Each structure stands twice: as C-alpha cells, then as structure tokens.
Chain A
Amino acid sequence: MMATHTLSEITATATKATRAAGFSWGVAEEAGLAVRRLSAHGLPGAEALAVLLTNKGASSVGDQGPAPGCGLSKMIEMLDMPPHSPAQLGPIKAPLLVVGFALADDGHWTVGWPGGAVHAGPEGLMLSGALPGPVAPVSVRQGCSTGQPLTAHWRSRPVAPDAWEKLEVLAATLLVPESERSRTSGAGPDA
C-alpha cells in the first residue's frame, strides 16, 4: 500500500525542497502552499513539483532561467496580478502548478491544456479530461463550467513514492550537519 502523507507534511516538504533547489524562501512558501491546495483537492501537486525541481534547467523565478518558464513562476505571477483577460502560456514546465493560483483566488477560473482542464472556484474544483504532462501550453481564463465540484479535504493522501523521495532528498540538504560546538550549545546547555 502506498504511504500516505498529511497536508502539513506535504506543505513542509514541498517548501523545504523548493528552497533547497535554489529558490528564495518566499517563493518556496508559495510552492508549498500551491502544492497543499492541489493535494487537498486530490491533484498530484507534489509530483508536479518534484519533476520541476529535479529537472535540470527548470526555469525559476529566482534565477535567470531559460524560457519557456515554469508552472511555479507563472502561478506566482498570477497570484500577484491575476490576468484581466484570457492568457496563453507556454509551453511551460509543471503546468499543473498554475492551478495553484486558481485555487487561491476568490474568483472562478478555468485552467486548460491540450486534452484537459480544471475549473476552480471557492466552492471547489472540477477536472475534465486528462491531467497535463510535464510540459504543456496552458490557457487561463475567468469563469468555469457548472457541475459538482470536488471540495478540499484534510485527510492524509498518497504521494507517488519516487516523487516523495525526490522532495525529501532535496529537503534534507537544508539540514546542518552536527559539529562539536553544536553538540554542546545548539540546544543550549543546562543552567
């Protein structure tokens, strides 16, 4: 049986892994929150992030990364300034992460890619068609179709083991190895 992880664990691991991959802490926090929102709605956000972070040459907000950008940077740009008119992106890496913007916003949005789309609003999310691959063009527009949305839920959920391992390995690089001094003073000596 695939191991499950809580949303807290998913958020923390995604944040740390993103920071460890070279992004600023502020960007890493956005990645963690986006993955949390996606996961809460049953979408493989952690898996998408793992592919992005471990794929050399991934475009980041923090570096001068190559075009065509990535889902993380586009998601953050839209969080900061939602598009006023339909937007065509890409092709971009980790396109699913763009949905993180739609789930954070109070409005209704449709995020689409060839063969599928997500309709998201405050009441939940509907997936039509297939999930996007690792690279795809993405369209974003206001409004969404009607139907019964999937609402967020708090329960633990599985994450693909290879993706989880990649994120954990990255996150672990933020840990500081023990030294003689830290052994004696890092947590503080007894009074």
Chain B
Amino acid sequence: MTDRIKRFESVALPHLDAAYNLARWLTRDPHDAEDVVQEAYLRALRFFEGLREGDARPWLLTIVRHVCYDWIRRNRPQEVVGDIDEEDLRERADVDSSIGQNPETLLLRAADRAMINRAIEALPVAFREVLILRELEELSYEQIAAVAGIPIGTVMSRLSRARAMIRKAVEGEKGS
C-alpha cells in the first residue's frame, strides 16, 4: 500500500457517512447511492493532489454531488433541467416561505419522522440538496454555496422554501 492511498484514506474515509448520506438522499436508493459514492471516491482519489489544506468534507461532497447529478441526468432526466431556472423553482415551490420561520409548528411536526422523510424525498433535487447539506451536514451557507455552485442568497431562499414545502406537505398529509 502506498503512502498516497494512506493519506487519501485518512482524509476521505472519515467523511464516508456524509458522502453516503448525501448520495442516498439525492438518488433515493441505497444501491444507487453505493455506486455513486464509489465513483465519487475513485474520482476524488484521482484528483487528490488538487486538494489543498483545509476541510476535505465540502470538497468530497462537491464531487459526490457532481456524480449524483450525472447519475440523475442519466437515469431520471426528468428530475433535472440543464440550467436550473430560479423563477421556475420559485413557482414550483409555490408556498409562502415565511411559514418556514415559525419554530413551534415545525417542532410539533418533528414527532412524525416518516412523514417528514417522505416530504423531503418528494422535494425537487435542488431543494433537497441544500436542506440535507444544511440540516444533516450542518455546512455553513458559504460551504453549501460552494458545494452546489449557487450564490449564498439562493442557498438561503431555497432552504427557507424547502422548509416551507415540507411544512405544507406534512400538513396536507395530516389533513387528508
């Protein structure tokens, strides 16, 4: 075993759960997530020299995200359009994002995990990814902007809309 692979393993393997979690949420399938993560790690290993000092997690998640999007384009092209149109997303979100700011109601809903998980799975991928990166990986807005290749303002507005959409979906499901 080479020093290079030892260094790579020590840098990249601690973030395997993060990589898998993102891939699992974006592909919504455990086997596809494994394929994506393996491809991403092989890609990361090839371009390892490009990583300078600093947190390897956003770097790795960026690669995982790229591979996920390639996978989605190939297997579920209807889920992504080439260039995401913010206006279009706004219309699809079609909810009052201000309700995403109210903590009590969401705390209440937190009791129902299955319902919330289903609601997140149903989000358009552009919203799902910022939500997962923020809520589960706890990346900063700056880091999410870098990983997803979008402005910080867009990160914040997508996040707030994503929360509002979950709220709406969960309320709808409970109401029905």
Asked if A and B are interacting partners, one says no
Residues of A with Cβ closer than 8 Å to B? none
Residues of B with Cβ closer than 8 Å to A? none
